[in-house]
Structure 1
Amino acid sequence: MQFFLDTANLDQIREVKELGLLDGVTTNPTLMSREGGDWREQAALICELVDGPVSLEVIGTTREEMIKEAKDLVSFGDNVVVKIPMIAEGLKALRELTERGIKTNVTLVFSPAQALLAGKLGATYVSPFVGRLDGLSHSGMEGVDQMRTIFDNYAFETKILVASVRHPMHVLESGLIGADVITLPYATIMQLMQHPLTDKGLAAFLADWEAFQEGK
């Protein structure tokens, strides 16, 4: 399973890249706005820093607007993936972008039926928002499991990119289901390596070694 970092923060990207865990990055208008400054400059820096795919999102809501923005976004780098919203106009744009060979990430997906449409039209990625569904007392991961079955049934090449991740259990469940990619906030990636027994065990090893050295 590939790990994408869900951020527009360059320092976070650099740190996760240094850990060797960075397979790609996903951004959206909200994440870009948090960094301030010129979003175009920020997007260019991210694309230059990241070796893998970088999702940049359109803000238009008509097919024409999305196509125009997509042509602009891909100019930032060969690794750009254009994020398209799961709406009717978005599907029209998706079909055309697929025909043009432009990589796409269909975002704001909340049901397996929506994912089926994206896969049928050749999306590169489809992003189910599991955390937001959990917040409404629906099982986001159950939907991902159903998407995996549908995509396997029809040999869709579209990759399932689990998004809106809230905690490490989403990561574990995504791995068990067989999701292709998961995009994580920086804090969640840091949580994955933490366990109180690891800290306790390391402290004990170090204490024993120090006692051994003092006893020589």
Structure 2
Amino acid sequence: MEFLLDTVNLEEIKKGIEYMPIVGITSNPSIVKKSAPEDFFDHMRKVRHIIGKERTLHVQVTATKAEDMIKEAERICKEIDEDVYIKVPTSLEGIKAMKILKQKGFHITATAIYTTMQAYMALEAGAEYLAPYCNRIANLGGDYRELIENVAFKINTEGYQCKILAASFHALSQVEDALNAGTQSVTVPYSILETIFKNPNINKAVTDFNNDWFSVYDEDILNLK
């Protein structure tokens, strides 16, 4: 199970990796727009510096033609580093680009997945991560849980070296549903992950425990100073 942050906000990234078991950062043009860095590549190099090489960094191409996607992928890796996962939309042109990028040794994250057959195509094209858009699928009347279950079964039974990276979440319940359905990874906005710990019962439990403890001991005998 892997948790990634879907953001390029530097403060969110710093806080996320300090407090939570975050293993990577994902971005797309809409995510980048929220931060609107003046120099995109300089900003992404800062992201890499914060997260280190031990975490994955996923950066999306903007081109719509395979040849241009490949050129963008080469530029992204040249400007940031060769370990970047190139996010490629799972379109007809995108599948063509994935096949070529795989042959060239790039890391590939197949994104904008709405159907099981898209995911199967990306698997065969060599993608290492598959990103189904859970909330968007639900808004269209689809069942992202069924998609995840089907693709996870295919990965496990046929030995693909690939992980599902569920994305596009509106609420924490969708994240939990995706994980329970079998996704190996999720990429989630910091604001949604933070809600895990905003349950008032957590603070109440801690307060009750402390009150009980200090009703017996006048000072904190567990303090190791």
Instruction: Out of 64-73 and 32-41, give the one that drifted further.
Output: 32-41
Number of residue pairs the alignment of both structures matches: 215
Superposed CA deviations along residues 36-83 of structure 1, whole A, max 9, x for unmatched, are 222121111112222311111111110111010000111202331101
Determine the structure 1 residue equivalent to 2:124.
Answer: 120
One-letter amino acid of the counterpart of residue 6, structure 2: D
Aligned counterparts, 1:1-216, within 5 A: 1-36=1-36, 37-51=38-52, 52-75=55-78, 76-212=80-216
Scaled by the length of structure 1, the TM-score of the pair is: 0.92
After superposition, the CA RMSD in angstroms is: 1.8
Runs (5+) with no aligned partner, structure 2: 219-225
CA distance in structure 1 between the aligned counterparts of 2:6 and 2:99, rounded to whole angstroms: 25
CA distance in structure 2 between the aligned counterparts of 1:140 and 1:84, rounded to whole angstroms: 20
Q: Stretches of 4+ moved more than 4 A in 1?
A: 210-214
Q: Is the CA contact (8 Å cut-off) linking 2:148 and 2:182 kept in structure 1?
A: no
Q: Is the CA contact (8 Å cut-off) linking 1:145 and 1:177 kept in structure 2?
A: yes
Scaled by the length of structure 2, the TM-score of the pair is: 0.89
One-letter amino acid of the counterpart of residue 63, structure 1: A
Identity %: 27
One-letter amino acid of the counterpart of residue 149, structure 1: F
Instruction: Out of 167-176 and 102-111, give the one that drifted further.
Output: 167-176
CA distance in structure 1 between the aligned counterparts of 2:186 and 2:85, rounded to whole angstroms: 15
Runs (5+) with no aligned partner, structure 1: none
